[in-house]
A = this chain, B = another copy of it.
Amino acid sequence: MTEDRFERGKQALIDLNGEETAQRVLDSLADVSPKLADSLVSWGFGEIYTRPQLVPRDRQLVTLGMLTALGGCEPQLEVHVNASLNAGLTAAEIVEALLQSAAYCGFPKALNATAVAKKVFAERGLLPVSGD
């Protein structure tokens, strides 16, 4: 049962972020906090993320909002901008979500998040973003 949760969560993590990123996250925790890796995978992904009540694309919209508002989560935001694209959000939709964050979180956090998104878009050949 526990293993089921882990396997289901790991598959969801791979589906969303790709095998390489998923493995990198797990490997980085293996020698310091394996239970944190297990919690992220088994609970965060296996129990929560994979629930059918909200599709992955919609979950990423919520997550983009949360990570921008929290601040100081640039590494996680980079992973989730990639995940957002993988889940079917367009670059223009991601940019629009971060634009909206200027109204709710202020310009500094919106600018920080947009800089992270730009970096990801550049790596994936998605610049310029044609949102307007």
Q: Is the CB of B43 within 8 A of A104?
A: no
Shortest distance from the beta carbon of A91 to any chain B beta carbon, whole Å: 8
Given A114-B33, A132-B35, CB of A70 within 8 Å of CB of B106: yes
Shortest distance from the beta carbon of A68 to any chain B beta carbon, whole Å: 7
Copy total for this chain: 6
Residue of B28, B32, B96, B104 touching A63 (CB-CB under 8 A): B104
Shortest distance from the beta carbon of A107 to any chain B beta carbon, whole Å: 6
Given A33-B131, A127-B32, A131-B33, CB of A53 within 8 Å of CB of B106: no
* A110–B105 CA distance with the chains assembled, in angstroms: 10
Q: Is the CB of A68 within 8 A of B71?
A: no
Shortest distance from the beta carbon of A109 to any chain B beta carbon, whole Å: 7
Q: Is the CB of B63 within 8 A of A66?
A: no
In the complex, which residues of chain B have a beta carbon less than 8 angstroms from the beta carbon of A54?
93, 96-97, 100
* A3–B124 CA distance with the chains assembled, in angstroms: 34
Residue of B32, B47, B59 touching A95 (CB-CB under 8 A): B32
Closest 7 CB pairs of A and B: A65-B65, A72-B72, A69-B69, A31-B128, A1-B1, A62-B65, A53-B96
